[in-house]
Amino acid sequence: MGNNVQGFEYEGKVIEALQEAGCCGDITEGAGASSVGADADFVVDGVRYLVEVKKDAGAQMGGTSVRYDVGGSFDVASSAVEDDTAEMIVAALEQKREHIDSLLKFICMPSFPLTCEKHLWEEAKTVGMLKPINAKIQKDTEFIVNHYKKKNIHYIQIGGAGLFYLGENPANLPVPKLEGQINIELRAGRSGSRKNLNGIPVVGGGLRAQGRLKFKGQSNFTLDDAESVKRLIAPHRLHHII
């Protein structure tokens, strides 16, 4: 079973637990592989809060793309990436400039992002032109805090670890802050294949920076179990009654 399918099923488990606990919001189906919407939501004291859901602590986190023209500068596309993280990404890619330029020359493209003939990208991969571009840098969790803050998401549920808050805890829940390390993986990646107007298979290509969480932490509450959710929100319900 693929990671996307497993992740989607885990999102469904979380939503079902929230529904059983009586605090589910408007989201009745997980966002799956979408990078746009939240995966789940809950309501406390009449206020709706969004949740990012990950099936485990090794799942991918926030990501961004990088624009680049041959001989020019690297430009991190997302404004949600904090300045020092963007500087680290650019510095790492600067060390790969020669390999990136060689790849672009091989596939006859002047810049990233790009659209090229599928066979050229596959040939470049076969002769080993993609791997030298790969890099990894380390960052604290502020990388993903800023990524999700832009979406108004302040909570994250991680399978096997439970519920954490990100940069802020607006619902004032008794859960820990997400702490740890992010490995930011840099690579040249392609999108799915399609045919252009001439019937030639083409693919999209881009320079990607993808965060992957590495941490050892445990929350005392989890959203994938209805009884745990009920214990989590019980003080708020009692306060509301009083």
The model's pLDDT over 184-211, given as tens digits with 9 standing for 90+, comes to 899 999 998 999 999 999 999 999 998 8
In order along its 242 residues, the chain shows pLDDT tens digits of 445 666 789 999 999 999 999 999 999 886 655 555 799 999 999 999 999 999 888 777 778 999 999 989 999 988 777 787 888 899 999 999 999 999 999 999 999 999 999 999 999 999 999 999 999 988 888 878 888 888 899 999 999 999 999 999 999 999 999 988 888 899 999 998 999 999 999 999 999 998 888 877 899 999 999 999 999 998 775 444 33
Q: What is the pLDDT of residue 1?
A: 46
Q: What is the pLDDT of residue 59?
A: 76
Q: What is the pLDDT of residue 165?
A: 96
Q: DSSP letter at 28?
A: -
> How far is 93 from 194, CA to CA, in rounded Å?
28
Q: What is the pLDDT of residue 43?
A: 95
> How far is 173 from 208, CA to CA, in rounded Å?
34
> How far is 206 from 116, CA to CA, in rounded Å?
11
- Decide if 202 contacts 191 (C-beta within 8 A): no
> How far is 32 from 27, CA to CA, in rounded Å?
12
> How far is 204 from 116, CA to CA, in rounded Å?
7
| 25-28: long-range pairs with CB below 8 Å, 24+ | 25/49
- Decide if 188 contacts 130 (C-beta within 8 A): yes
Q: How far apart are the first and last CA of the chain?
A: 48
Q: What is the pLDDT of residue 156?
A: 94
Q: What is the pLDDT of residue 125?
A: 96
Q: Which residues contact 104 (CB under 8 A, 6 or more apart)?
A: 70, 110, 111, 112, 114
Residue matched to tokens 């009884």? 227
Backbone angles phi, psi at 178, to 5 degrees: -70, 120
Strands 153-158 and 47-54, by their bridges, are: parallel
| Count of C-beta atoms within a 10 Å radius of residue 72 | 10
| Count of C-beta atoms within a 10 Å radius of residue 237 | 14
Q: What is the pLDDT of residue 108?
A: 94
Q: What is the pLDDT of residue 172?
A: 95
Helix (H) or strand (E) holding 94: helix 83-94
- Decide if 27 contacts 131 (C-beta within 8 A): no
Torsion of CA 102, 105, 109, 114, to 10 degrees: -20
Q: What is the pLDDT of residue 98?
A: 95
Nearest to 210 by CA among 109, 76, 99: 76
> How far is 73 from 87, CA to CA, in rounded Å?
12
> How far is 76 from 91, CA to CA, in rounded Å?
11
**Prediction pTM value:** 0.72
Domains in the chain, CATH or no CATH each: 3-57+142-179+217-241 (3.40.1350), 61-137+182-214 (no CATH)
- Decide if 112 contacts 104 (C-beta within 8 A): yes
